[in-house]
């Protein structure tokens, strides 16, 4: 009900759906064709771009024709411009036979075919493409007397070098993380998936920022309806700027009012490759190392790329530890409240006595303790994250040692409450994608337990479970493969089965092409090892 | 169609299992059977299983003749408009009334064992609110939530039984058939209602995503139900013996006796968890059936508008229908013939009528 009202309020300002609010090509000239007169073209450029300091217009004379180069300083490769363009036009041009401009062909054609030693050169005729080219790391060449220009792609801007991802570090596995430049990110993916079926479709969103995004999937594995749905949702986006993939996430997610995220994100190329192999779709956004993957299931937050690289037995154990940590984070504080406030008799007597004695003299009820300490923990965490590292250390030291210790010895908060909050806090870092969600869940459960003890806590459980069961991410039920149950896919949930057992793709995403590994390829020693050694050791005499 | 979602055969079977088990194995039923059949309750369970399978087959045969309609819709086809409406109304009332038992019992149990000073309505509203949320989200959501809940409840139940193992005594089962076979039948009689709760399938069959092998789910469900039931009844009797007849919820009393290595003691919260999640599913299923049946009976296009009024109705009825828990027990035994009529006799009559009048197809044969 409230949701509908909220939707209605949101849609009030949406009367003008059709005319996009923002557009780079605001001037009326945008749709125009190029003129034969060079001066007109250049004037148009100057009118549209204004006198921005980084726009460079260089005019020169080639074979008695006036030619102009327009580009944006800093976006293009200066060396290549000097060597392959300027030098070619001003010196090599004169050696071209027959002399350009004299024959039947245009000067632009001759220059494109015979002079420029650059791979990506296109002929253009309208002003809109010219602007796109200039703003998108290109050099535009105008020729006087011709209504076509050339656009040379020579990207040469500064990028961060490829580094180890900060959010998802592994002990074993690739150390590469995505960077901000879209082309670099895509090349990292290509290098991992050399299949001709890997499709990378470019789109542009953001009326002002004109951000490039790229929808990646593997044809033949992915559900084509999923790709269409992703593209449809991306095309619907109408916003002035997209500076990070989080913008897209909010526009395309299925459950915007839920605390659970239904769009995955990662910084690791190997993870994206793995997701694509499971039949998912990835969305790259220029300007951010975070790549989105859909559909996103709840179980994915427990799956770390290292599970698949290390041996499967410890991998499975770690999965279960993570699950345990999620339970601890979300429920331990609530359990503490329920037990101390309502049903202390469930504890074994010695433990009950020691807890009661440490709570003696504490002026707050259990729920007060837990909430205050929880908020305190989050403040410490936030302070530690934002501050520069040396200061952050001080914060954690002061917070943890001085305040944590002092609070207990002053008798404001009991020691068990501090232990429980600390434990829950540490466990919340074990599954990073869920740490915020679990924090909210923990708050929800704690308040319910404060109101109604175990009953409230368990009722909260059921409500959260029902809510999660109602979620979908791009058509995939959020709790699958547990609900709806698909027994074959449980191999990659609470445990991580060995690779030679996981012969099928998860059915929920890879429904079409389910076979991913040979059925009988489990490793085994050669049967006739004893009788016939594979090779003999030569004994030197 | 009022319901857009589709559930699989497995999900339907899971729903039936949880629905039946939630009141029978962890609820009041073991005590009721034990009052009549004493140490031979397990024989009653076996008889009940046979009864459940037979009734289940009848219900499924009836439902599969009309694979895209619920009983409220096809009752009119089989018997004509006016009698059909009356039968439909009977089922609407039945789904409403039967639901008030577990809800009220849940409230009474929570008060007695966990929070004695809290008003009854608080628990009723809590569980009905949770169920209403699930019902509003649709059949698929109930089914999916149950796919998590059922394995979790079974695990908890089995863990409880294992923890009680040291306290079990086999001598509580002898002598066998001490007072003849009659008490066993009496024990069977009081529980007939709950083993025929497969009746909810009459509302689910049109929303199954396949009609192949649908009949088979009855047998498979009852194997699981019977085993769990036996586990519950046998372990309760083995632990409590004579005492099992005198306490309303023997299972929870048994749970109190758990003591392992002086570390794991007083595991009733585990029992409460089991109780909350299982009853949630049961209440949601009947709530859903009631709301859906009402919407179809009134030819509405949307059932969601009925969820809130139905919740209020359920809450009020659960409070006013019985004075206390003893009253509830008495009513439950008294009403058995009526419930059996709606659950078993009426479907049989409808099935025979449909066969004789040649209504409905025979689609979905195994």
Q: Domain containing B323 — which CATH number?
A: 1.20.1740.10
Which chain B positions have a beta carbon within 8 Å of A484's beta carbon?
A: 8, 11, 143-144, 147
CB count in 10 Å sphere of residue A541: 3
Count Cβ neighbours within 10 Å for each residue of A106-135 and write b for 16 or more, e otherwise. bbbbbbbebbbebeebeebebbebbbbbbe
**Residues of A in Cβ contact (< 8 Å) with B265:** 348
CB < 8 Å to A455, chain B: 110, 114-115, 123, 126, 272, 276
Residue B366, in any domain of the structure: no
For B144, which of A343, A456, A477 is closest by C-beta distance? A477
From B318, B315, B330, select the one nearest B125 (Cα to Cα). Answer: B315
Q: Could you identify the residue written with the tokens 């409240």? A: A337
Residue A24 pLDDT > 70, yes or no? no
**B5 CB-side CA count, 13 A:** 21
* A323 shares its domain with A414: yes
**Distance between CA B320 and CA B306 in Å, rounded?**
21
What is the band of A376 on the pLDDT scale with cuts at 50, 70, 90? confident
**Closest CA–CA distance from residue A347 to any residue of chain B (Å):** 7
Indicate the pLDDT class of residue A384, thresholds 50, 70 and 90.
confident
Beta carbons of A484 and B276 less than 8 Å apart: no
% of chain B with per-residue pLDDT over 90: 28
* Best mutation target, B145, B271, B304, to test chain A (most A CBs within 10 A): B145
Nearest to A470 among B130, B141, B273 (CB): B141
Residue entry with tokens 């526009």 = A251
DSSP B303: S
Size of interface A-B (CB pairs under 8 A): 97
Q: Are A134 and A204 in the same domain?
A: no
Asked whether the beta carbons of residue A346 and residue B268 sit closer than 8 angstroms, the reply is yes
Q: How many CB atoms lie within 10 A of CB B346?
A: 20
For CA atoms B358, B359, B363, B365, the dihedral sign is negative
Looking at the domain assignment, is residue A404 inside a domain?
yes
Q: Look at residue A541 in the predicted model and tell me its pLDDT.
A: 47
Q: How far is CA A46 from CA A50, A60, A66, A144, in A?
A: 5, 17, 17, 17
Q: Which of B9, B125, B141, B156 best tests the A interface by mutation, with the highest count of A CBs <10 A?
A: B141
Q: Is residue B41 part of a domain?
A: yes
Residue A2 reports pLDDT greater than 70: no
In angstroms, the separation between the Cα of residue B81 and the nearest Cα of chain A is: 36
Q: Does residue A466 lie within any of the structural domains?
A: yes
Residues of A in contact with B267 (CB under 8 A): 346
| Residue of B139, B269, B282, B287 to mutate, testing the A interface (most A Cβ within 10 Å of its Cβ) | B269
In-domain check, residue A501: no
SS3 content of chain A, % helix, strand, coil (to 5): 45, 15, 40
Residues A395 and A255 in one domain: no
- Any residues with CB less than 8 A from the CB of A260 and at least 6 apart, and which? A298, A437, A467, A468, A471, A478
CA-based nearest distance A236→chain B, Å: 26
Would you say residue A397 lies in a domain?
A: yes
pLDDT band, very low/low/confident/very high, at A18 (cuts 50, 70, 90)? very low
| Cα angle value B193/B197/B198 (rounded, 5°) | 140
Least confident of A33-47, A280-294, B90-104: A33-47
A470 chain-B contacts, CB cut-off 8 A:
137-138, 140-141, 144
CB-CB neighbors (< 8 A) of A462 in chain B: 130, 145, 149, 276-277, 280
pLDDT band, very low/low/confident/very high, at B307 (cuts 50, 70, 90): very high
Is A278 in the same domain as A393?
no
Residues A191, A322 within the same domain: no
Is the confidence at residue A277, as pLDDT, over 70? yes
Beta pairing partners, A153: A138
Minimum CA–CA partner of A485 in chain B: B147
Collect all residues from A whose CB is shorter than 8 A from any CB in B.
338, 342-343, 345-348, 452-456, 458-459, 461-463, 465-467, 469-470, 477, 479, 482-485
pLDDT (average), residues B107-119: 84
Question: For residue A75, what is the DSSP state?
Answer: T
Domain extent at residue A186: 1-24+160-296
Rounded to whole angstroms, the Cα distance separating A517 from A504 reads 7
The distance of A391 to chain B (nearest Cα, Å) reads 44
The rounded mean pLDDT for chain A is 84
Write out chain B residues lying below 8 Å of A338, CB-based: 269
Chain B positions contacting chain A at CB under 8 Å are 8, 10-11, 110, 114-115, 118, 122-123, 126-127, 130, 133-134, 137-138, 140-149, 262-263, 265-269, 272-273, 276-277, 280
Residue A537, pLDDT > 70, answer no
The band of A536, judged by pLDDT with boundaries at 50, 70 and 90, is low
Q: Which of B203, B202, B139, B149 is nearest to B7 (CA)?
A: B139
Q: What distance in Å separates the CA atoms of residue B121 and residue B103, rounded to the nearest whole number?
A: 10
* Other CB atoms within 10 A of residue A208 CB: 13
Asked if residue B328 lies in contact with residue B322, where contact means CB atoms within 8 angstroms, the answer is yes
Is the pLDDT assigned to residue A101 strictly greater than 80? no
Task: Give the closest-approach CA distance of B148 to chain A in angstroms.
Answer: 7
- Contact at CB, B280 and A462, closer than 8 angstroms: yes
pLDDT confidence tier of residue B144, bands split at 50, 70 and 90: very high
Strand spans (E) along A80-205: 121-124, 138-143, 149-153, 198-205
Domain tally, chain A: 3
The CA radius of gyration of chain B, in Å to the nearest whole number, is 20
For the stretch B95-107, pLDDT in tens is 999 899 889 988 8
Mean pLDDT score of chain B: 85
CA triple B104-B346-B28, angle to 5 deg: 25
- What average pLDDT does the segment B176-204 reach? 84
CB contact under 8 A, A466 and B133: yes
In a domain, A511, yes or no: no
Query: Domain for residue A205, yes or no?
Result: yes
Is B362 a member of any domain? no
Q: Pick from A455, A470, A483: which is nearest to B148 by CB?
A: A483
d(C-alpha A355, C-alpha A33), whole Å: 82
- Whether residue A141 contacts residue A115, with contact meaning beta carbons closer than 8 Å, is answered with no
Per-residue pLDDT tens digits for A290-320:
999 989 999 999 998 888 999 999 989 999 9
- For residue B1, tell me if it sits in a domain: no
Q: What is the pLDDT of residue A535?
A: 57
Mean pLDDT of A456-465: 93
Please answer yes or no on whether B137 and A466 come within 8 Å at the CB atom. yes
The reply to whether A172 and A197 lie within a common domain is yes
Q: Which residue has the higher pLDDT, B116 or A214?
A: A214
- Report the alpha-carbon distance of residue B145 to residue B134 in Å, rounded: 9
Kindly report the pTM of this predicted structure: 0.87
Among residues A238, A268, A296, which one ends one of the domains?
A: A296
Q: Is the pLDDT of residue B349 over 80?
A: yes
The angle formed by the CA atoms of residues A169, A170 and A171, to the nearest 5 degrees, is 135
Specify whether A186 is located in the same domain as A332. no
- Which residues in chain A have their CB less than 8 angstroms from residue B272's CB? 454-455, 458
Range B315-324 contact pairs with CB under 8 angstroms and sequence separation of 24 or more: B315/B103, B315/B121, B315/B124, B315/B125, B315/B128, B317/B96, B317/B97, B317/B100, B318/B100, B318/B103, B318/B104, B318/B107, B318/B124, B319/B104, B319/B120, B319/B121, B319/B124, B321/B100, B321/B104, B322/B104, B324/B108
Q: Are residues A342 and A439 in the same domain?
A: yes
CB contact under 8 A, A346 and B266: yes
> Measured between beta carbons, which residues in chain B are less than 8 angstroms from residue A453?
114-115
Q: Both A208 and A333 in a single domain?
A: no
Instruction: Categorize the per-residue pLDDT at A273 as very low, low, confident or very high, splitting at 50, 70 and 90.
Output: very high
Enumerate the residues of chain A whose CB falls inside 8 A of the CB of residue B11: 484-485
Q: Nearest residue of A to residue B142 by CA position?
A: A466
The closest CB to that of A455, out of B11, B133, B272, belongs to B272
Indicate yes or no: CB of A467 within 8 angstroms of CB of B147.
no
Q: Taking residues B97-125, report their average pLDDT.
A: 87
Q: How confident is the model at residue B159 (pLDDT cuts 50, 70, 90)?
A: confident
DSSP for residue A161: P
Are A484 and B8 an interchain contact pair (Cβ–Cβ within 8 Å)?
A: yes
CB contact under 8 A, B144 and A345: no
Q: Diameter of chain A by CA atoms?
A: 104
Residues of A within 8 A of B112 (CB-CB) are none
A144's tokens? 């006087």
Closest to A482 (Cβ–Cβ): which among B134, B148, B277? B148
3-state secondary structure string across A197-233 = CEEEEEEEECCCCCEEEEEEEECCCCCHHHHHHHHHH
Neighbouring CB atoms inside 10 A of A306's CB total 16
> Is the predicted pLDDT of residue A19 greater than 50, yes or no?
no
A111 and A182 in one domain? no
In a domain, B140, yes or no: yes
Nearest chain B residue to A335, by CA? B269
Confirm whether B154 is domain-assigned.
yes
The number of domains in chain B is: 1
B10 and A485 within 8 Å at the Cβ level: the answer is yes
User: pLDDT class for B1, splitting at 50, 70, 90?
Assistant: low
Question: Residue A128 domain-assigned?
Answer: yes
Answer whether B145 sits within 8 Å of A465, measured CB to CB. Answer: yes
| Cα–Cα distance list, A25 to A72, A242, A329, A375, A475 (Å) | 17, 18, 51, 49, 37
Same domain, A175 and A130: no
Predicted confidence at residue A538, as pLDDT, reads 56
A285 and A334 share a domain? Answer: no
Residue where a domain terminates, one of A239, A262, A296: A296
Chain A residues touching B115 at Cβ < 8 A: 342, 452-453, 455
- What residues of chain B lie within 8 A of the CB of A479, using their CB? 144, 147-148
- Range scoring the smallest mean pLDDT among A55-64, A170-179, B299-308: A55-64
- The reported pLDDT for the residue numbered A532 is 53
CB contact under 8 A, A348 and B123: no
Full domain range(s) for residue B62: 9-357
CB contact under 8 A, B265 and A348: yes
The answer to whether residues A177 and A204 touch, using CB atoms and an 8 Å cutoff, is no
- CB A455 to CB B273 under 8 A? no
Mean pLDDT of A345-355: 85
User: Given this model, what pLDDT does residue A350 score?
Assistant: 85
The last residue of a domain, from among A296, A318, A346: A296
Average pLDDT over residues A388-409: 78
Q: Which residues of B touch A348 (CB under 8 A)?
A: 262-263, 265-266
Percent of chain A with pLDDT over 90: 32
């Amino acid at each position: 009900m409230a949701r509908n009202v909220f939707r209605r309020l949101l849609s009030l300002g949406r009367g003008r759906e059709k005319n996009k609010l923002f557009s780079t090509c605001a001037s009326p000239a945008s749709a125009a064709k190029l003129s034969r007169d060079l001066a007109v073209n250049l004037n148009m450029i100057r009118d549209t771009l204004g006198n921005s300091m980084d726009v460079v217009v260089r005019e020169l004379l080639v074979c008695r024709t006036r030619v102009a180069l327009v580009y944006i300083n800093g976006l293009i490769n200066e060396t290549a411009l000097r060597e392959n363009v300027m030098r070619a036009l001003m010196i090599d041009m004169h050696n071209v036979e027959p002399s350009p401009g004299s024959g039947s062909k245009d000067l632009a054609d001759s220059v494109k075919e015979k002079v420029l030693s650059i791979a990506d050169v296109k002929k253009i005729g309208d002003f809109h493409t010219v602007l796109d080219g200039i703003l998108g790391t290109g050099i535009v060449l105008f020729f006087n007397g011709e209504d076509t220009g050339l656009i040379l792609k020579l990207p040469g801007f500064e990028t961060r070098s490829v580094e180890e991802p900060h959010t998802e570090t592994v002990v074993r596995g690739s150390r590469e993380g995505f960077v901000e430049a879209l082309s670099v990110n895509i090349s990292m993916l290509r290098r991992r998936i050399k299949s001709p079926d890997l499709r990378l479709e470019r789109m542009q969103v953001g009326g002002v920022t004109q951000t490039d995004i790229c929808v990646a999937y593997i044809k033949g594995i992915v559900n084509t309806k999923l790709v269409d749905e992703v593209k449809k949702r991306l095309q619907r986006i109408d916003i002035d700027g997209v500076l990070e993939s989080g913008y897209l996430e909010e526009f395309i997610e299925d459950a915007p009012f839920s605390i659970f995220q239904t769009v995955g994100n990662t910084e690791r190329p190997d993870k994206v490759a793995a997701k694509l192999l499971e039949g998912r779709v990835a969305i790259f956004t220029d300007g951010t190392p975070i790549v989105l993957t859909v559909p996103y299931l709840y179980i994915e937050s427990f799956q770390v790329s290292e599970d698949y690289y290390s041996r499967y037995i410890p991998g499975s154990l770690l999965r279960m530890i993570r699950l345990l940590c999620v339970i601890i984070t979300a429920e331990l504080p609530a359990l503490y409240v329920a037990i101390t406030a309502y049903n202390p008799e469930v504890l074994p007597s010695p433990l009950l006595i020691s807890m009661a004695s440490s709570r003696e003299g504490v002026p707050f009820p259990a729920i007060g303790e837990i909430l205050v300490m929880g908020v305190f923990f989050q403040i410490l965490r936030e302070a530690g994250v934002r501050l520069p590292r040396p200061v952050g250390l001080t914060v954690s030291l002061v917070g943890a040692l001085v305040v944590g210790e002092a609070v207990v010895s002053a008798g404001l908060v009991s020691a068990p409450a501090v232990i429980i909050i600390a434990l829950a806090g540490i466990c919340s870092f074990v599954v990073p994608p869920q740490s915020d969600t679990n924090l909210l869940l923990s708050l929800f459960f704690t308040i319910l337990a404060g109101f109604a003890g175990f009953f409230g806590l368990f009722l909260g459980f059921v409500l959260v479970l029902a809510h999660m069961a109602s979620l979908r991410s791009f058509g995939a039920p959020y709790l699958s493969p547990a609900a709806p149950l698909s027994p074959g896919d449980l191999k990659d949930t609470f445990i991580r089965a060995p690779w030679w057992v996981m012969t099928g793709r998860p059915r929920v995403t890879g429904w079409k092409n389910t076979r991913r590994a040979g059925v009988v390829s489990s490793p085994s020693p050669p049967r006739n090892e004893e009788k016939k050694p594979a090779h003999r050791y030569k004994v030197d005499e | 169609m009022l319901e857009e979602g589709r559930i699989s055969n497995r999900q339907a079977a899971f729903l039936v299992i949880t629905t039946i088990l939630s009141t029978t194995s962890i609820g009041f039923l073991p005590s009721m059977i034990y009052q009549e059949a004493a140490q031979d309750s397990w024989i009653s369970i076996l008889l009940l299983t046979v009864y459940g399978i037979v009734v289940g087959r009848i219900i499924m045969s009836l439902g599969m003749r009309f694979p895209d309609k619920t009983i409220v819709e096809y009752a009119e086809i089989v018997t004509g408009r006016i009698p059909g409406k009356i039968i439909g109304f009977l089922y609407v009332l039945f789904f409403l009334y039967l639901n008030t038992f577990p809800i009220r019992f849940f409230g009474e149990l929570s008060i007695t064992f966990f929070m004695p000073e809290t008003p009854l309505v608080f628990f009723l509203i809590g569980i009905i609110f949770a169920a209403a949320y699930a019902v509003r989200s649709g059949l698929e959501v109930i089914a999916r939530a149950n796919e998590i809940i059922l394995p979790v409840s079974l695990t908890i139940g089995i863990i409880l039984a294992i923890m009680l193992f040291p306290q079990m005594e086999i001598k509580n089962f002898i002598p066998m058939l001490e007072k003849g076979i009659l008490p066993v039948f009496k024990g069977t009689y009081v529980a007939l209602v709950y083993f025929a709760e497969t009746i909810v399938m009459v509302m689910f069959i049109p929303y199954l995503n396949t009609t192949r092998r649908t009949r088979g789910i009855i047998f498979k469900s009852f194997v699981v139900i019977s085993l769990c039931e036996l586990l519950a009844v046998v372990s309760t009797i083995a632990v409590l013996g004579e005492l099992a007849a005198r306490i309303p919820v023997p299972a929870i009393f048994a749970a109190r006796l758990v003591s392992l290595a002086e570390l794991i003691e007083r595991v009733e919260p585990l029992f409460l968890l089991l109780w909350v999640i299982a009853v949630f599913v049961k209440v949601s299923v009947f709530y859903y059936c009631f709301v859906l049946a009402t919407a179809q009976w009134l030819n509405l296009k949307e059932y969601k508008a009925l969820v809130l009024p139905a919740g209020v109705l359920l809450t009020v009825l659960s409070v006013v229908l019985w004075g206390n828990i003893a009253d509830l027990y008495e009513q439950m035994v008294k009403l058995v013939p009526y419930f059996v009529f709606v659950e078993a006799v009426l479907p049989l009559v409808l099935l025979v009528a449909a066969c004789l009048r040649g209504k409905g197809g025979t689609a979905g044969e195994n």
